[in-house]
Structure 1
Amino acid sequence: MSLLGTAVHAFKWSLLGEAASRLVGPLVFIILARVLAPQDFGVVAAATVAISFSEVFWFNGLSRALIQHPDDNPAAADAVFWINLALAAVLAVALLLAAPALAWFFGDPRVADVLRWLCLQIPLAAACSVMTALMQKRFQFARLFWIRIASTAGPGLASIPLALSGWGYWALVAGVLVGQMLQLLLLWHFSQWRPRARIDRALSADLLRFGRWSLLSGLLGWLYGWLDAIVVGHFLGSEEMGLYRTGNTFVTVVFGMVFAPLMPVLFSLFSRAQHDVPRLREALITVAHAIALLALPIGMGLYALREDVGAVVFGAQWTGVGTVIGLLAISHAIGWIAGANGELYRAVGKPYVETFTMALMIVVYVPVYLFAIRSGLQAFLDARVALSALALLAHVVVSWRVIDIEPRRWVRSCVWAGTAAGVAALLVRWLDRAPEGLASGPLLAAMAGVLAYGAMILLLEFSFLQRLWSILRTRSPAQPAAELPRG
């Protein structure tokens, strides 16, 4: 079977796992949002800032190096496991000591107690990282599918009854810990690998050389992903942080349902073809084109129906969440277009390229965020959309210089999707706000927008859709897959 065919088959299982988890996850999320208040989510989000920082060390550091390592060597997995576990112990102790300072930073003493309990998650996540990386390396996404389903349902079974019983934000904490423990137990059951009490120093040094750049990129990615919530929480308080972070989580769930399964498959795919740059170049621009066809209409559609989505999903107590959802949807749609670039840079042994790009953007993001937040949440959201467009431009320039993808190819991959999505969003907005005699309601307006967009894309992108279909029609590893052009 071809390399692309293997990836397509793995992507189908990864997509099923992501879809299943993101069907259960959002349902739990919506139920909890209707029971709990924005402040409850804000308190937990403030503590999660620190926990998510710790996760960078294993999910974006040595675990990436383990996937990229050309040999399926058990000694490499042993080294990553023990290094990650040692880092987890150090980070857990450091965060326990830093809990009062973090609570002071966010102006809410409740954050300290929440962080102390969530520190239990750190060693559990570190232990999970190696088994997950090995399954991704071996394209065992079918096993990961079942693990994702069970470990996603677990937090809901714990959180919802506790929330209904009046536990408040502690219901969210309990759900996180139950989900992490369940994931570890399932990975241990399904994984054929078991850690041995030894470390190959030479191999560890080799992994660390690659992992340091991937880790630095991950740390910048963490700052890139959490800087906005940190700024909102510090300047506007827990309630506004809860509103902002919950709206952002909803948007992330929507986009993640479609695109998150693609990333681990792409990294494994690119790693196998890391020396065939022309082939990788064509694969990346094809992926970006396909992402644009889906991301831009999703973003503009959520923006057009932002008030309706906020009211239906979250209810009356979440006033203002519709505006957050609409503008962040545009921001996420723009950002996902270059979402696969970092996977390619890491796969070809150049993780420092993404690190450099992200560091450059952080230098711009920090002063813009600090300036915009002083004018309130609306100005901050507007700034986020503008910065996403600027970040996409930076990624286009970097890909041109590093792997020779000309900017006009990025423009071609986005222009028709952006045009069609814009026209469809205007139609949706007009129908949703039409005079009383012509009013169709948000559901019918959304359906009209989907039909209009589909018709325009079928007309404007017919040849690309044919090509994409020839790739996606691979049904099993026994069947040959269509190859991407080689440049």
Structure 2
Amino acid sequence: MSTTINLKTVTNSVGWSVLSKTSIFGLKFVTVPILARLLSPEEFGTVAVAQTVVMFLAMIGSAGLAASLVLEREEDEETLHSVFWVNLALALAMSACIYIWAVPFARWLGAEDAAYLLRVMALLVPLQLSGDVAYSLLARRMAFRKDAAWSVISESLGAVVAVALALAGFGVWALVAQLFVAAIVRLGGLFHATAYRPKFMLSLARVGALTRYSLGIMGSEFFNFITFQSPLVVVSRYLGLADAGAYSAANRFSSIPNQVLLAGLMGVLFPAFSHMGDDTRRRTDALMLSTQVSTVALAPMMFGLWAVAEPGMYLIFGPQWAHAWPVLGLLAVSKGIMSPCSTYIPFLKGAGRSDVLWWVAMLRAGLVYGLVSYGAVTGGLFTAMVWLCVANGITLIFYSWAVFRTSNVPFLSGFYTTTRPMVASLIMAVAVRWLLDRMKDDLPGGLWWNAASQVMVGIAAGAVLYGLLLFLMERGLLRKLLELVRQRKMRAA
């Protein structure tokens, strides 16, 4: 591979990727609450259910062949164009299936009224899959600065259009327009950034050589999609569109920290791990360090969100959503539990172990679907979210075991090292929650101001306490990071 991978390359790429996700976070921090105030839970739920089918097929179609291009040693023109045309043909077939069977799909999801949206949103599949080859080229070249720029531009334009249409009274079409505008702008940006132009060259032999790895990735993404989307389907089918809307709004907001850090890391670490070739020791060291760093950054955000979920839900979404604060809190906890797993998928993909990815994803999907369904049937939305936390706790254990076994890391020592920051985050969150419960009546009056004061006090107290715990529990990691920074400065000098 022509791109040289070192600490500077990776940190710069992560920086650009996280910057783009942070910018998108800012947009969603503003637009999601605005849209939640302008639209009803039923409208949110209808679009969320329709989007589930489209996201599922787009994820399956884009996961395998495009990902396999990152592992290729050379950018072979015939292979690139062949993958593009196969992806496009697959996308058009999927789009046709959605259009033809929109009513059965919507009925199966428990939202037959969403069938008309499915037919419209079917066009999103070819729009998304058509840019996969171009994105793979950016990833191979570690050109995440260009990807970051176009991600921000596309999401910004989509958000502006959505808010404008919602204010004009277009209802669910505001959310639909947001998806289409973002997809179209991003597609054009990817082609511009890579200068990739499809040519009609098709070699089924070249595509066939990529299928063994790509089928494993597609299988894992299939089950990952079930994992991430099955709670919404379960809530929609058993509890109705209103609860589905509450879940969707809370899930969107609680997913923002993941989208900022996790998505940024995964996009960069996959090509970074793949560039390490057969250097298993270097890849293992990078796995442990990146896992510790991501957990240190992600876990306090998620557990901290649980600590301020009650005032935060009222402050951000308004009084009509205030009842759903336990859902927001438990969703944040469920994501916080999975913090150490943020680097496992790119590690296994970069190491070429799509087989391990496949079976781990399959077990996780079955666990999440089964336990969330049990909770929804026996106790409603709150109970379903509790069981989601249980499912993620079990997943953390066997996912860590599978990855450490693949990388020849002793399970107990590896598990202790990677989950230790999560313990500090949990201690911090419980302390903040205890503090707010005793201070909230003494904070400024008025429901909005009281909620805002609780959130600000919680953030300040949590930052101080977590910083202290981090210094006490992670001094070895902090020394390692300082040494890496010092080495980078010496090389630059």
CA distance in 1, matches of 2:111, 2:54: 17
Contact 1:25 1:153 in 2 (8 A): no
Contact 1:296 1:417 in 2 (8 A): yes
Q: How does 1:53-452 map to 2 (within 5 A)?
A: 53-374=56-377, 375-414=379-418, 416-435=420-439, 439=443, 441-452=454-465
Give the C-alpha shift of residue 197 in structure 1: 0.4
Shift in CA distance, 163/102, structure 1 to aligned 2, threshold 3 Å: same
Could you report, residue by residue, the CA deviation over 1:157-216 in whole angstroms, capped at 9, with x for unpaired residues? 211111111111111011111111111122222222211101123211112222111111
CA distance in 2, matches of 1:9, 1:254: 20
CA distance in 2, matches of 1:305, 1:424: 12
SS in 2 for 1:160: helix
Pick which of 235-244 and 8-17 moved more: 8-17
Give the C-alpha shift of residue 136 in structure 1: 1.1
Shift in CA distance, 198/474, structure 1 to aligned 2, threshold 3 Å: farther
Could you report, residue by residue, the CA deviation over 1:216-235 in whole angstroms, capped at 9, with x for unpaired residues? 11111111111111111111
Give the C-alpha shift of residue 289 in structure 1: 1.2
SS in 2 for 1:166: coil
Matched residue type, 2:462: G
In the superposition, the TM-score normalised over structure 1's length comes to 0.94
Matched residue type, 1:168: G
CA distance in 2, matches of 1:58, 1:109: 25
Could you report, residue by residue, the CA deviation over 1:104-136 in whole angstroms, capped at 9, with x for unpaired residues? 224433311111111111111111111111111
Could you report, residue by residue, the CA deviation over 1:374-403 in whole angstroms, capped at 9, with x for unpaired residues? 121111010000110100001122123222
CA distance in 2, matches of 1:397, 1:223: 22
SS in 2 for 1:139: coil
Counterpart residue number, 1:43: 46
Matched residue type, 2:12: H
Matched residue type, 1:458: F
Contact 2:5 2:275 in 1 (8 A): no
Pick which of 218-227 and 287-296 moved more: 287-296
Could you report, residue by residue, the CA deviation over 1:3-35 in whole angstroms, capped at 9, with x for unpaired residues? 333211211111222222222233222211121
SS in 2 for 1:261: helix
Q: Between Structure 1 and Structure 2, which shows a larger proportion of helix residues?
A: 2
Could you report, residue by residue, the CA deviation over 1:226-245 in whole angstroms, capped at 9, with x for unpaired residues? 11111111111111111112
In the superposition, the TM-score normalised over structure 2's length comes to 0.93
Counterpart residue number, 1:485: none
Shift in CA distance, 417/273, structure 1 to aligned 2, threshold 3 Å: same
Give the C-alpha shift of residue 76 in structure 1: 1.9
Contact 2:17 2:144 in 1 (8 A): yes
Could you report, residue by residue, the CA deviation over 1:45-73 in whole angstroms, capped at 9, with x for unpaired residues? 11011101111134311111111112122
CA distance in 1, matches of 2:386, 2:357: 25
What residue ranges of structure 2 are gaps of 5+ in the alignment?
444-452
What residue ranges of structure 1 are gaps of 5+ in the alignment?
482-487
Contact 1:293 1:414 in 2 (8 A): no
Give the C-alpha shift of residue 415 in structure 1: 5.1
CA distance in 2, matches of 1:94, 1:76: 27
Give the C-alpha shift of residue 361 in structure 1: 2.4
Matched residue type, 2:8: G
2:473 matches 1:460: yes
Pick which of 133-142 and 354-363 moved more: 354-363
CA distance in 1, matches of 2:64, 2:73: 16
Kindly tell me the number of residue pairs found equivalent between the two proteins. Answer: 480
SS in 1 for 2:319: coil
Question: Segments of 4+ in structure 1 off by > 4 A?
Answer: 435-440, 472-476, 478-481
Contact 2:310 2:322 in 1 (8 A): no
Matched residue type, 1:174: A
Contact 2:404 2:414 in 1 (8 A): no
Give the C-alpha shift of residue 370 in structure 1: 2.3
CA distance in 1, matches of 2:351, 2:419: 29
Shift in CA distance, 85/296, structure 1 to aligned 2, threshold 3 Å: same
Identity of aligned residues (%): 26
Contact 2:24 2:152 in 1 (8 A): yes
